[in-house]
Amino acid sequence: MIGAFLYYRLMSISHYAFRALPFEDQLVAVYEQGRWLARRYEEEDWINLYYLDSFFVELYYDPEANHIHRTRTFTSQECLMDYAAYVSLQDLGV
């Protein structure tokens, strides 16, 4: 149900509001409001990192199934260590 996300389209979505959205609406929010930063690999998944104004979102993509199967959100810069070679926080203004 995409209706829940419509409220957030015109404004920045908060970390907690994002987490309360259904999975499908989280994906819409990431694609409409997120800024793609980097990709890393973990076992069979490709993990794409996005930035949404005040928090980060990882999309876990299984290339064999051609399916995004989960999201992970965080606000701590410590969680970016796996992406350190790809992301400049100064460029983001963080």
Per-residue pLDDT of the chain (94 residues; tens, 9 = 90+): 445 545 555 468 999 999 999 999 999 999 999 999 899 998 899 999 999 989 999 999 999 999 999 999 999 988 888 887 766 666 666 6
What is the domain-level CATH number for residue 28?
Answer: 3.30.67
CA gap 85, 61 in Å, rounded? 21
Quote the domain boundaries for residue 24.
Answer: 3-92
Q: How far apart are CA 14 and CA 94, in angstroms?
A: 16
Q: Where are the beta strands (DSSP E) in the chain?
A: 35-42, 45-52, 55-62, 67-74
> Count of domains in the chain?
1
Residue 6: Cβ-neighbour burial (10 angstroms; 0-12, 13-18, 19+)? exposed
> Model pTM?
0.79
Contact 73, 51 (CB under 8 A): no
